[in-house]
Amino acid sequence: MCTFQNEPTPANPVVTLVVVALLLVALSLVGCMGKEQGSYVNGTLNVSAGQVLAKSLKEATDVYAEENPAVQVTVRDVGSVQALDEFISGRSDLALLTQLPLPEEYMLAEQQGKRIHLTTFAIDGIAIIVPNDNELSGITLADARKIFFEGTLSTWEQVPGSGQRGHIRVYTGNVLKHATAQYFNYVVAGNRTAPYITGAIPLSELELIPDAVKSSPDAIGYDSLVYLTRSGGPMVLPVDGVIPAQRALLDGTYPLARNVYLLTDGPPRGVAGSYVAFLLSPRGQELIGRSGLVPVSLIRHGGNTG
């Protein structure tokens, strides 16, 4: 049985793909460990997640729950920042994050008797988006910094090739809540909590950004690719000449790629081990890929040019 809860509440270089591949091999052993006790698993599993991951893992978690009816899985959308706090304090068994814990968070976990263990199971990308009638063929990180943070590019006339006129309307996430916003800020401005320009419009939910940008001819924004999978959305810009396609996300050439992590207390075992093993199984990776994330299993198969 699986339940999802939304709880609005008040970040992180990408780990090398070599390390990711090694983690995947290690977790294949966890799958074997989970089956030593037979295929029957029972118990409860409380998962804390940020907004992007609660959405992207819903289908995979539902299928896991159907295949393991004696397991009660609850995935709570508490925001990425709060998800780690809940895991450290013992309010959740597992956390889903798109950012690495800080050294002080590792220390705090140790003080609480927990040993943070990271498992990478997918790759996500953050896209910079504009309305479809914008004629921009791409954007550089330098120009994104000038638009979102410095304000030295404040009108579309200052942006060559946009075909637009007037003030640039900037939509953003909430850095106090969204790891997506923190990672965008880290890559573009060098600081997770860098302030946006005066007049930027922070939205409370990341899933609102694509429609806001699409409906405003003068807009620009950013969001996780998870929210940009449906047709008819805003236009996704290449960044520094790189399109956020699967291969560019997997090989790290797209500058706004990021790993997606499962956090457990030590190597996954028991019910948590069963859940993690499912997410890394061929079926679990297929379901994750349908959500808009890039399955980490593609690293072993050379990725995809799409």
Q: How far apart are the first and last CA of the chain?
A: 35
Determine phi and psi for 180, rounding to 5 degrees. Answer: -60, -45
Whole-model pTM?
Answer: 0.82
2-124+258-299 matches 125-251 in fold: yes
Residue 166 makes CB contacts below 8 A (sequence gap 6+) with: 155, 156, 218
pLDDT in tens, 66-120: 999 999 999 998 887 789 999 999 999 999 999 889 999 999 999 999 999 999 9
Identify the residue with better confidence: 58 or 31. Answer: 58
Average pLDDT in the 230-254 region?
A: 93
pLDDT at 3 over 70: no
pLDDT in tens, 141-188: 999 999 999 999 999 999 989 989 999 999 999 998 889 999 999 999
**CATH assignment of 2-124+258-299, given 3.40.50.10260, 3.40.718.10, 3.90.1140.10, 3.40.190.10?**
3.40.190.10
Domain ranges (residues) in the chain: 2-124+258-299, 125-251
pLDDT in tens, 251-263: 999 999 999 999 9
- Architecture of the domain spanning 125-251: 3-Layer(aba) Sandwich (3.40)
In the structure, what pLDDT confidence band is assigned to residue 298 with cuts at 50, 70 and 90? Answer: confident
pLDDT in tens, 121-132: 999 999 999 999
